[in-house]
Amino acid sequence: MVAPGVRQDAPRGLVVRPSTDRGLLRAFLERDRIYAAYALCDLDDREFGRTRWGVAFAGSDPVAVVLEYAGLAPQPVFVMGENAGIAAILRELIRPRAAYLAARTEHLSAVASIYRMEPGPPMVRMWVDRTTFRPYPAEVARLLPVEVGDLNRLYQLGFTAWLPPSAVAEGVYYGIRVGGRLISAAGTHVISPEARLGVVGNVMTHTDFRGRGYATALTGAVTADLLRFCDQVVLNVRSDNPPALQAYAKLGYREHVRFEERLIHRNGAALGPLTALQGPIRRLLGRGES
């Protein structure tokens, strides 16, 4: 007899069940901590209450994990592990109508059996540690929570975003001003003191000031700050953005994996107006490109 809340996939003998066992989840995610960096950070107390986790077991061994991060729909969904387990979790347990998927290319077939996918360029997960980091000297300044209005004005030039002061207070943000005006900034999506991981994001330079190395300098400043207490720092960048890839490489970032970030719709669910807003919402959720 299968216990309440547990679903069994008979052909494979897989059992899927929800989990709040952070030890089990952390051990599974640590199999590839750079790819699973966001998910590992979400195990910290500050983020864990916003998450739902599904695990597929073959016997007593976990073989797949799916994370759904709560918030504005469509929610981010992260998958890792064996395809049969991923499909079973998405079919039986984690069932959003629409979501922003982060998955390795080899996992797309499992997701596509249940969801329709919007097209999108592959993403590159890059990482750096203290041994490879190369600082980029420049005049930059740490931003304060009271400057969040200037940050939001800058970000709205390139994408819709709204950051609360708490995001700056709890994160690490640096900026460059010209004539008192904030024209370039970089910050963090999420930080985990427990996992000793940090994720750089929200890198933006006003179009009138691009090509001057500001984004590189600010990303370097944020990275240096994070590496004081993080073992690795990661970021995402689109694979079709060679200038950004080259800029991060100058700082010592290395490519770890190429993965897919797609807006997905559950089969049978009607497409809504969110499709046109996928870029802005991804930015708002802090799960997209740096």
Q: Which amino acid belongs to residue 124?
A: V
Q: What angle do CA 37, 39, 42 make, to 5 degrees?
A: 110
Which 3 state secondary structure label does DSSP give 24?
helix
Which 3 state secondary structure label does DSSP give 156?
coil
Average pLDDT over residues 251-271: 90
Place of tokens 């990303």: 219
Instruction: Assess whether pLDDT exceeds 70 at residue 277.
Output: no
Phi, psi dihedrals of residue 73, rounded to the nearest 5°: -75, 145
Tens of pLDDT along 137-159?
889 999 999 999 999 999 986 55
Which of 6 and 250 is assigned the larger pLDDT?
Answer: 250
Task: Tell me the pLDDT band of 275, cut-offs 50, 70 and 90.
Answer: very low
Tens of pLDDT along 67-107?
999 876 789 999 999 999 999 999 999 999 999 999 999 99
Q: What is the pTM of this model?
A: 0.86
Task: Tell me the pLDDT band of 4, cut-offs 50, 70 and 90.
Answer: very low
CA distances from 60 to 14, 40, 110, 179 (A): 10, 22, 22, 62
The Cα–Cα gap between 245 and 192 comes to 24
What percent of the chain has pLDDT above 90?
Answer: 80
Tens of pLDDT along 104-138?
999 999 999 999 999 988 999 999 999 999 999 88
Determine contact, residues 168/151, Cβ cutoff 8 Å: yes
Which of 103 and 276 is assigned the larger pLDDT?
Answer: 103
Return the structure tokens found at 197: 């991981």
Tens of pLDDT along 6-23?
555 434 589 999 999 999
Determine contact, residues 142/168, Cβ cutoff 8 Å: no
Write the DSSP string, 259-289: EEEEEEEETTPPP-GGGGGHHHHHHHHT-S-
Structural domains for the chain: 7-123+258-285 (3.40.630), 127-257 (3.40.630.30)
Q: Which of 52-61, 89-98, 235-244, 274-283 has the lowest mean pLDDT?
A: 274-283
Average pLDDT over residues 274-285: 43
Tens of pLDDT along 21-47?
999 999 999 999 999 999 999 999 999
The Cα–Cα gap between 58 and 16 comes to 9
Determine contact, residues 114/96, Cβ cutoff 8 Å: no
Return the structure tokens found at 110: 């499992």
Instruction: Assess whether pLDDT exceeds 50 at residue 283.
Output: no
Tens of pLDDT along 156-193?
865 556 789 999 999 999 999 999 999 999 999 999 99
